[in-house]
Amino acid sequence: MPPTLAPAPALPLTHVACTHCGDDCPDDPIRLVAQPALSFCCPGCRAVYELLAASNLCTYYRLDERPGQKVRAVELPGRFDYLDLESVQGQLLAFRSPTLARLTLSIPQMHCASCIWLLENLFKLNPGISASRVNFLRKELTVSYHPETTSLKAVVTLLAAINYEPRITLAELGAQLHHGTRTLYYQLGVAAFGFGNVMLLAFPEYFSFSGQLQSTFGNFFGWLSLLLSLPVLLVSARGFYRSAWQGLRQRYINLDFPISLGLTALFITSVSEVMTQRGPGFFDSFTGLVFFMLIGKWVQQRSYDALRFDRDFTSYFPVAVTLLTKTGEQSVSVKELKPGQRIRVRHQEIIPADAILLRGTALIDYSFVSGESVPVARQAGETVYAGGRQVGEAVDLEVVREVSQGYLTQLWNNPAFQKEEKANLETYANHVGRYFVGLTLALALGAVAYWYPKDPQMALRAFTSVLVIACPCALSLATPFAMGAALRVLGRRTLYLKNSAVVETLGRADTIVFDKTGTLTDVKKAAVEYLGPALSPGQQRAVAAVVRHSTHPLSQRLAAELPPSQLAVAGFAEIPGQGLRGTVGGVVVRVGSAAFVGAAVATNEAAEPAENLQSRVFISLGNNLSGYYIFRNVYRDDLCEVLAALNRRYRLAVLSGDNETEQARLRALFGPQAELHFHQTPQQKLDYIAALRQQGRTVVMVGDGLNDAGALQRADAGIALTDTLTNFSPACDAILEAGSFGQLATIMGFSRDCLRVVLATFVLSFCYNGVGLALAVQGRFTPIVSAILMPISSISVMVFATLLVRVAAWRRRL
């Protein structure tokens, strides 16, 4: 072996750069069959390469011309048939005319510049496509095509063929394009316009030549400022008033209430000053305040625009399913599925509803539901639950329950999912805001009581000044900027949060609950152990040659474990749900279940039921049983350190759907205080979390599967663990990439730091308010003081919050 590696010593083996996009390749890079020397980081990059090669655009890589491979056809011809349905098209297409159709597709796979390039050059692959535009941050592709020359099905099939299969789910249907952000931009534009111009008009007042100018222009400037501020009040500030009003209607005072109060006081004071020609008013402060606070809102909105988290079961299920009728197969919407109907589920399709297996061998991959990687075999007559993915041959099922009534989907009928948002986010800012109002009103009334006997005019001035200066503008900026910075730091560490309030919740948490399978254990790294008479290296290679031909997850696991093998396999056959068979060098190799390989071990297996939990793969060579491989789940590498770090501060608990076999190991890992619960159904997990919260605890749930979805939703903060971000993950507050699991303790610590930063920023903004109040109660709060204090406090709070979060991240080496 070593001599063959010699010609390419310059290539570092650890980091191979992708030929297309230059990213580091995974350990096992994707290669081009025609040119094995080229390695790629992702199928997309390879497809681009192939396409470019096919179109003779190789100057892009300065490579020789190569015919490249044809874009491979989708292996399941009937898979996208439902896209021809009129009802589906009606829901998917954003625009439709005889000559043009346009729709937006969600393509989570896109990740690099070449993805954008390829997706925007679709018209070269299908002339019927007139244009395609990518929105990278939202991972969306807007395609326009000519319905006469091509069809929606052809477009989607093409995308699937180049490995960018769009995610079309029930939730995606009827989803509208998001236009909410535009309003904020309009508001921001109006506020900036008002602020800039009013400030210019206020300049004469700032510089003391007002005396001369004021007599001639003061009145004109005042009225003009009023005119310019009106759209700011009516358009830009509307959001604050609406939010405050909504809070009041729910008998809840949020931070927007004192803001609205301050803004109103500021505006009314200014109007009355201009009307009575007493002065220029505070219009510059008013427009400036609105402008700065809108910037805060914009920062907040941007930080959670990128990922969409609002998923329920409809996100996981297919749009359409093949219905078996007397006349033949028919594609129908999943929503119309009724109990008693018969459906056909093909290889790699998701079972949409609880059903009874009628015909065929079901081999169902419940990895997403339970975190268990090994597909479960089911025989005709048995019940299969919705959410699993069929692997192998097509099966016929009879629907038992409607989609919305299934075993797993029932979770979503729990009240926890009914709420639009988790009960008003009890953020610090809102909490503080409530006391703020009381304090402000007390101070304002106090000032009136003090001044009224001496100088009624002054009393009014002091009253409004207090309301104005107490407007918690800086306070409202502290949270978005601190949390926005925190979200960016955490995003770099592949923890993606639903919104900034989650950082606060994580910082306040005192209990962490873990799911076991898939969360604490690493499904991909199941330990493989061989039991039986030792295999010779030649025999191992023979087994490896056979399993390499199978796409079954266990075969692939085994292939990775065994030495590489180039031996030829004759007469390969895969019997779904049973095993593989092939002849290597004249020896028949069988790999599969005990019954498939030889019935002798079946009794042996029954003798040790506890061992049933692990999956086994039996091997026979030349009709002689050799032994079997056991796949054991292993715990994540850094679990030990993470738990040790977390154990110091948090109460830990484990909720597992499995039985107690692992109890001793978990006890050792989690320590004596931790609560370990086994045999937990999804509903029990949810109830457990609810009970903890009733005790007044702030609970963080870490889970991965659909069966944790209820618990994740019920917890104060639910963190879903996922291997790849493009995979499905349950509805949750945060998504953590499994590779970053080891940083969980650091992330929790960082969240606590962020809380402290927010509090420190509050203190800073209180200082400004204090200075302002001291001036205000004395009636010395003039437009110029206001015009200086407001922007300084706003800007310094923004900078302070961002910097402190950066420092905290740097100290924790995040």
Partner 1 sequence: MTIIFLLIGISLLVALTFLGAFFWAVRSGQYEDDYTPAVRMLFEDEVEPDEPA
Q: Contact residues for partner 1 (CB under 8 A)?
A: 56-60, 64-65, 113, 116-117, 120, 133-138, 181-182, 185-186, 189-190, 193, 196-197, 200-201, 216-217, 220, 224
CA 287 to chain CA centroid, Å, is: 36
Which is nearer to partner 1, 217 or 452 (by Cβ)?
A: 217
Q: Which residues contact 66 (CB under 8 A, 6 or more apart)?
A: 34, 35, 53, 58
Helix or strand (DSSP H, E) at 600: helix 600-607
Least distance to partner 1, CB of residue 118, Å: 10
Minimum Å distance from CB 260 to partner 1? Answer: 25
Tell me the closest approach of the beta carbon of residue 181 to partner 1, in angstroms: 7
Q: What crossing angle do the helices spanning 473-492 and 428-451 adopt, rounded to 10°?
A: 170
Are the CB atoms for 375 and 368 separated by under 8 Å?
no
Question: For partner 1, which is the closer residue by CB, 45 or 386?
Answer: 45
Q: Are 126 and 162 in contact (CB under 8 A)?
A: no
Q: What is the DSSP letter of 17?
A: B
**CB-nearer residue toward partner 1: 301 or 540:** 301
Nearest approach in angstroms of CB 497 to partner 1 is 19
Q: For residues 239 and 598, which CB has a smaller minimum distance to partner 1 in the complex?
A: 239
Residue whose CB is less far from partner 1, 185 or 245: 185
Q: Closest distance between partner 1 and the C-beta of residue 186, in Å?
A: 6
Q: Which is nearer to partner 1, 213 or 358 (CB)?
A: 213
Task: In angstroms, give the least distance from the CB of 116 to partner 1.
Answer: 5
Q: Which is nearer to partner 1, 113 or 668 (CB)?
A: 113
User: What is the distance between the alpha carbons of residues 472 and 479, in angstroms, rounded to a whole number?
Assistant: 12
Minimum gap (Å) between residue 146 Cβ and partner 1 = 22
CB 371 → partner 1: shortest distance, Å? 33
Which DSSP helix (H) or strand (E) runs through 444? Answer: helix 428-451
Single-letter residue type at 584: V
* Residue written as token pair 């042996």: 604
Q: For residue 377, what are the β-bridge partners?
A: 363
DSSP string over 501-540: HHHHHHHH--EEEEEIIIIIEEEEEEEEEEESSPPPHHHH
Residue 60 or 245 with smaller CB distance to partner 1: 60
Q: How far is the CB of 197 from partner 1 (least distance, A)?
A: 6
CA angle (767, 769, 771) in 5-degree steps: 70
CB-nearer residue toward partner 1: 65 or 382? 65
Least distance from C-beta 48 to partner 1, angstroms? 12
| Cα–Cα distance, 375 to 363 (Å, whole number) | 6
Q: Is 9 helix (H, G, I), strand (E, B) or coil?
A: coil
Q: How many CA atoms lie within 13 A of 403 on its CB side?
A: 21
Coil, strand or helix: which one is 589? strand
CB of 233 to partner 1, least distance (A): 16
| In contact, 804 and 482? CB cutoff 8 Å | yes
For the bound state, the minimum distance from the C-beta of residue 109 to partner 1, rounded and expressed in Å, comes to 15
Nearer to partner 1 (CB atom), residue 189 or residue 339: 189
| Least gap, CB of 138 to partner 1 (angstroms) | 7
Pairing of strands 734-737, 717-722: parallel
**Which among 578, 337, 549 is positioned nearest to 345, based on CA atoms?**
337
Task: Give me the helix-helix angle, 744-777 and 456-469, nearest 10°.
Answer: 170
Q: With contact defined as beta carbons under 8 Å apart, do 332 and 365 qualify?
A: no
CB of 154 to partner 1, least distance (A): 24
C-beta of residue 450 within 8 angstroms of C-beta of residue 345: no
CA–CA distance, 747 with 495 (Å, rounded to integer): 9
Measured CA to CA in angstroms, residue 742 lies from 286, 520, 736 at distances of 48, 11, 11
With respect to partner 1, which residue has the nearer C-beta, 217 or 635?
217
Nearer to partner 1, 27 or 64 (CB): 64
Cα distances (angstroms) measured from residue 148 to each of 96, 100, 127, 189, 563:
12, 9, 11, 42, 53
Residue recorded with tokens 């310059």: 10
Name the burial class of residue 73, with classes exposed (0-12), middle (13-18) and buried (19+) by CB atoms within 10 angstroms of its CB.
exposed
- Helix runs in 207-282, H state only: 210-213, 219-231, 238-249, 256-275
Residue 195 or 257 having the CB closest to partner 1: 195
Rounded CA gap, 581 and 691, in Å?
A: 52
CA distance 43 to 39: 10
- Complex with partner 1: residue 64 or 608, whichever CB lies closer: 64
Q: DSSP label at 217?
A: I
Least gap, CB of 117 to partner 1 (angstroms): 5
Residue number, 229 or 751, with CB nearest to partner 1: 229
Structure tokens belonging to residue 195: 């602020």
CA pair distance 14, 11, nearest whole angstrom: 9
Distances (CA, A) of 501 to 440, 457, 522, 663, 685: 26, 43, 29, 35, 24
State the minimum distance, in angstroms, from the CB of residue 441 to partner 1: 37
Q: How far is the CB of 134 from partner 1 (least distance, A)?
A: 5
Q: Closer to partner 1 at the Cβ: 193 or 678?
A: 193
CB 59, CB 74: distance < 8 Å: no
d(CA 179, CA 189) in angstroms, rounded, equals 16
Residue 210 C-beta: closest distance to partner 1, Å: 14
Q: Which is nearer to partner 1, 118 or 676 (CB)?
A: 118
**Residues in a beta bridge with 521:** 635
What is the H or E stretch that residue 775 is in? helix 744-777
Pick 114 or 707: Cβ nearer partner 1 = 114
State how far the Cα of 183 lies from the Cα of 239, in Å rounded to an integer: 10
What distance in Å separates the CA atoms of residue 735 and residue 728, rounded to the nearest whole number?
11
